[in-house]
Amino acid sequence: MAQVNRFPTEFDPGWHPATGLVVGHDIVGGVFALNGGDPAAAGRPGAPGQMTYFAPDTLEWEAMEMGHSGWVSWLLSGRLEVFYDGMRWPGWREEAAALAFGQGLSVYPFLWSEEAHADLAATRRQPVPMREVLGVAADFARQMGSDPGFLGDV
């Protein structure tokens, strides 16, 4: 978590993550982050201390309307199936299990495209470093007029 959020190597009592704290990535480029003190200034919805999700199928931040402890409970509740509905394809579990640490899946046509929304199973997927998955999503979001900001260092 320290590396992903660029914590200073030496203790600095005045340091804090400016936009919030990245607490998780999913293999297709989704980012779970805890909002910092001024989410609007960081381009994120929701209130300070609430969880947000950068959705790779829309390239936008979404408010999750829960804090970190609520998010952890939600992760363990079995509701991920509903959350990821539309972003899973036949065989996704096997593809995910085959990834090495630090890898994600490059999906083409991109998850935010009409083609992927129409038939996700027909997309091509390839293991790549997670930083590439996040970098492509951030670049396209900026090109579409919405800078997602910091998505974590991986």
- Reported as a single tens digit per residue, the pLDDT across 101-121 is 999 999 999 999 999 999 999
Cα–Cα dist 26/19, whole Å: 20
Whether residue 151 contacts residue 137, with contact meaning beta carbons closer than 8 Å, is answered with yes
Is residue 78 pLDDT above 90, yes or no?
A: no
List the Cα angle 95/101/106 in 5-degree steps: 50
What's the pLDDT score for residue 34? 97
What's the pLDDT score for residue 10? 93
pLDDT digits (tens, 9 = 90+) for 8-22: 999 999 898 889 999
This model's pTM is above 0.75: yes
What's the pLDDT score for residue 16? 86
Name, in order, each residue with C-beta under 8 angstroms of 66's C-beta and a sequence gap of 6 or more: 50, 51, 74
pLDDT digits (tens, 9 = 90+) for 50-59: 999 999 999 9
Whether residue 52 contacts residue 76, with contact meaning beta carbons closer than 8 Å, is answered with no
Report the DSSP pairing between strands 60-63 and 103-108: unpaired
